[in-house]
Amino acid sequence: MGFKEGKKLKIVLFRYILIFFGFTATWHNAISQVNIDSLDLLISKAEGKKKLWVLSKVGYYISNIDNNLYYKYSQQGLEESLSQNDSLYVSYFLIDIGYHHIRKGAYQDALNSFDRSKLISEKNNYREALASAYTGLGVIYYELNLYDKALQCHTKSLVIKEELGKKKHLGVSFNNIGLIYYKIDDPVRALEYFKKSLDIKLEIGDTSKSVLNYINIGLAYSEISDSISDLRAKESFRTSIKLANDYNQNFRIGEAYSGLAKIFVENLEYDSAKYFINLSIEESIKNNFKKLESSNYYLLSRIAFQEKEYNLAIKYLERSQNLLYKLNDKSRIKNNYGLYSEIFEAKNMLDSAFYYQKKFSVMKDSIFNEELANNLANVQIATFQEQSQRKIAEKEETISKNKLFSLFLLSILALSIALIVVIFRNYAHTNRINRQLNDSQTEIEAQKENLEHKNTQLADAQVTIQRQNQVLKNINVELDNKVKERTLELDRSNHELEKAVKDLDQFIYKTSHDLRGPIATMQGIINLGVMDAGDEKSIGYFNMLHKVSNKLNNVLHRLIEVHETYLTNPVIINIDPKQEIINTIDDFSQSSINTDITIITDLRANSVWNSDKMLFKLIIKNMLQNALHYKDNSHAEIKVKSEYKKDKLRILFEDNGFGIQEGDEDKVFNIFFKGSPTPGGTGLEIYTAKVAVEKLGGIMKLKKPLKNTIFEIILPTIKV
């Protein structure tokens, strides 16, 4: 009867929690007194162990909504578990209270709660609760910048979780350890642990909780200074933004925006950086995320400093510092001191610069010193020793099992010998009987001779088979050696080819970017020349130079676009193909200098389609630009048609331009190929569109080469 009542209570509680949090999901800061009273009534009806279970579940579900209520129910659960003398629940409620203190910034109170939970769990061998207590202690020490102690606690928690086989919880420990290495400026090691955490969450299908992992991976990549890492960081941040939107985790989006801004600051792309910083500040204020807000003001200060707006830089830095003093975040305060020193040094205020440099050095030494490095190393060594001892214990257990198995085999052998003795005695008795049967003896001897002859033949056949096996073995060895030689040659060739492709890619990217600066300078000089020139002939020459420089700048822009398209990993989202084509045509019409062209659309694909929005619009834009560059009369037309055909998206582009000359059909998709003698165009439009189509797994064909040229693009269905 008690079991049925307990089960009924759990069902009622579960249904009520769903209703309660359905109403409160929209109001994180306002929970009605009616709902609180209803929860209190539900708790009061429970008794004994059931009451502890109800208090635990209510506290868990309300923990992210109202910290004060979370503390109320956790404290009530602690008092109830103490009265019932239930040490396991005492341990868990102490952990809940510890996390409440962390959110309030009362780190000493939190430390006391986690320590009490750890002692109780160790005494009673509550392994799962002990792992949770170590995790809480690790979080506290991390907040206090005691990274060696934090690493020690998280490592102990990780070892216990591995013993218990708690795969889901391993991801939390890997992420926490990664954060420590990120804080001590070891992004490579941090990245290793962040990826382990992400792999576990993806393996168990917990995608909704992987948003933070992608953000942390992006931050780690952003600390590794190379172009590939920057691209991977951007990809991770974009993935986190998409997942945060999918799972309504808007409070994480601000962190991703800040990470993207940091990359643009490092690459001196300040306009893009400011755009994402402002988005991040909006999210941090909306979600009361003070640390994130302070980091954004620090980034704005760095930008102002680089732009030599020193007073504005100090203003932003003061905002950041005021927030950090309240949070007591020594690591970020240290960074602010360093930037203060650089700003005052640039303003030639050397006394102030020296003052902040000294504060920076003192705080850096207090956080990162030789003792911390030694302690971190000792924690790692202790971890490896503990793992080694665990493996030795496992081997000893295996040896013990092998000994038992050997004894079992010896017993079987003894029984077999006894059985052979019995059989032998029976055989001797049978021989005595056979000697008395003379008529049967002759037949038995004949059969024996026949069997011996057959055994001889079998032995000869076995020798022949062994020789043939040896020959085959020698042939296999020779084949294996040849395969290994060929494999080594292929590996060397592939390595050289990959290096050549990488070098070529970096050459194109760097050359394209480096040449844009000189071209911009040349265009400025040409403009000055036009203003200073006194005769029309000189102005004509300058105008010709201006057209040539514009053409060269367009080629470089196209090359950069091709390069970025090659490197882009598609981010698949739901788009409306019809609306995206219309938007791209509108943008094209507004941005093109020569708009003397008619665009006719027949867009039948008007439902949701999975694709990368940027690559899709890039395809449409380049096909329109190609038609514009190679029109040959004043009544130029472009026809754009789209439709779904056999679960695929089919897009046709038809124009009445010059067309493709006979014999050039196979060259049309080559880079820099221009099928018309008219000026304009770079020969990269069709090539860029084809690269983007292939990135989306599609194909692009030239359906009709001459007048009224038709290109066909077919994109497959992409599953998200």
Q: What is the mean pLDDT of residues 40-52?
A: 80
Are residues 603 and 558 both part of a single domain?
no
Are residues 529 and 617 both part of a single domain?
no
d(CA 71, CA 701): 66
Give the distance, in angstroms, between the CA of residue 523 and the centroid of all CA atoms in the same chain: 42
Q: What is the mean pLDDT of residues 678-684?
A: 68
Q: What is the DSSP letter of 399?
A: H
Q: Residue 679 above 70 pLDDT?
A: no
Poorest-pLDDT segment among 57-61, 557-561, 592-596 = 592-596
Question: Domain for residue 164, yes or no?
Answer: no
Answer with the one of 361, 395, 430 that is the final residue of a domain: 430
Question: Domain for residue 287, yes or no?
Answer: no
Are residues 648 and 585 both part of a single domain?
yes
pLDDT the model gives residue 42: 75
Question: Domain for residue 524, yes or no?
Answer: yes
* Of 147, 87, 139, 146, nearest in space to 117 by CA: 87
Question: Domain for residue 631, yes or no?
Answer: yes
Angle between the N-to-C axes of helices 310-327 and 290-306, in degrees from 0 to 180, rounded to the nearest 10: 160
Q: Per the structure, how many domains does the chain have?
A: 3
* Of 354, 353, 293, 352, nearest in space to 322 by CA: 293
Question: Domain for residue 688, yes or no?
Answer: yes
Are residues 707 and 578 both part of a single domain?
yes
**pTM for the whole structure:** 0.48
pLDDT the model gives residue 18: 45
b or e along 82-97 (b: 16 or more beta carbons within 10 Å of the residue's beta carbon)?
eeeebeebbbbbbbbb
d(CA 545, CA 523): 8
Amino acid occupying residue 140:
I
Residue ranges of alpha helices (H) inside 105-186 are 107-124, 127-143, 147-164, 167-183
Are residues 527 and 579 both part of a single domain?
no
pLDDT the model gives residue 3: 40
Are residues 515 and 613 both part of a single domain?
no
CATH code at position 667 = 3.30.565.10
> Per residue in 249-266, pLDDT tens?
777 898 899 999 998 998
d(CA 618, CA 687): 11
Question: Domain for residue 531, yes or no?
Answer: yes
Amino acid occupying residue 386:
E
CB-side exposure of 344: number of CA atoms within 13 Å? 16
Q: Which two tokens stand for residue 354?
A: 């020296």
Phi, psi of 601 (to 5 degrees): -115, 145
Residue 397 pLDDT class (50, 70, 90 cuts): low
Strand 609-612 with 637-645, pairing: unpaired
Question: Domain for residue 551, yes or no?
Answer: yes
Are residues 586 and 559 both part of a single domain?
no
Are residues 593 and 499 both part of a single domain?
no
> Per residue in 80-117, pLDDT tens?
899 999 999 999 999 999 988 887 878 899 999 999 99
The residue ranking higher by pLDDT, 36 or 86, is 86
Residue 20 pLDDT class (50, 70, 90 cuts): very low
Answer with the one of 430, 463, 487 that is the final residue of a domain: 430
Expressed as residue numbers, the domain containing 606 is 568-715
Residue ranges of alpha helices (H) inside 347-369 are 350-367
Answer with the one of 543, 567, 591 that is the final residue of a domain: 567
Strand 598-603 with 572-575, pairing: unpaired
Highest mean pLDDT among 102-106, 290-294, 402-406: 290-294
Mean pLDDT taken over the chain: 79
> Per residue in 318-371, pLDDT tens?
999 888 877 777 778 888 899 999 999 998 998 888 888 888 888 776 665 544
Question: Domain for residue 222, yes or no?
Answer: no
pLDDT the model gives residue 386: 52
Q: Residue 709 above 80 pLDDT?
A: yes
Q: Residue 381 above 60 pLDDT?
A: no
Are residues 686 and 649 both part of a single domain?
yes
Are residues 511 and 548 both part of a single domain?
yes
pLDDT the model gives residue 27: 38
Are residues 572 and 554 both part of a single domain?
no
- Degrees to nearest 5, angle at CA 368 with 222 and 181: 40
> Per residue in 460-511, pLDDT tens?
767 777 887 787 787 778 777 777 777 787 777 667 666 655 655 666 666 6
Are residues 679 and 623 both part of a single domain?
yes
CATH code at position 553 = 1.10.287
